[in-house]
Amino acid sequence: MTAREAATSGQGHDHSAPVLFDAILHPHRSLSRRGFAILMAVVATVCLTVGGAFYLIGAWPVFGLFGLDVAILYWAFRVNYLSARRYEKVRLTSDRLIVERVCPSGIRNTWSFQPTWLNVAIDDPPEHHSQVTLSSHGRSLVVGSFLSPDERLDFANALRDALARARRPDPLPA
């Protein structure tokens, strides 16, 4: 499993069933806030310098277009960072698999599956378009679509392992 998931064992909020798998999936963003500030400073400096040169030779509309470029780049990164606030929680107990999807707007959707009949499907090896699909009793749900193909495969394998543990009968007490 990758750093994108946090699989743990312990007690859940319910206290009636132990948590066998608990993962929070987040979209990956390779540029930190500090990196974003540095990138914007470099782009703004280059655009101001080159645009200023065009302004001095009388091509003043070019200066405005460089400013527009900086503004559009800033806006695109802000939208990208806003979408990164999306995440999915996947929690498995012996009697339920619960998937909670939280959108950047804060809207939450929740799905529940019975783990005995749950199937976890993904192409192996994963392709760019491969998806982790949870299916049971005619219902299906795609999970972790924002992860890379390798992260999706790691997540699917970890969830399959946890489901196999959940399906094992409890050993008899000694």
Give the domain ranges of the chain: 10-26+88-167, 33-83
91 three-class SS: strand
Along the 174 residues of the chain, how does pLDDT read in single tens digits?
443 444 443 444 445 678 889 999 988 777 888 999 999 999 999 999 999 999 999 998 999 999 999 999 999 988 888 877 889 999 998 889 999 999 888 899 999 999 988 999 988 787 888 899 999 988 999 999 888 888 999 999 999 999 998 888 765 565
**Which amino acid type is present at position 13?**
H
96: which residues sit within 8 A by CB, 6+ positions away?
17, 112, 113, 114, 115
Report pTM.
0.68
Write the class of the CATH domain 10-26+88-167: mainly beta
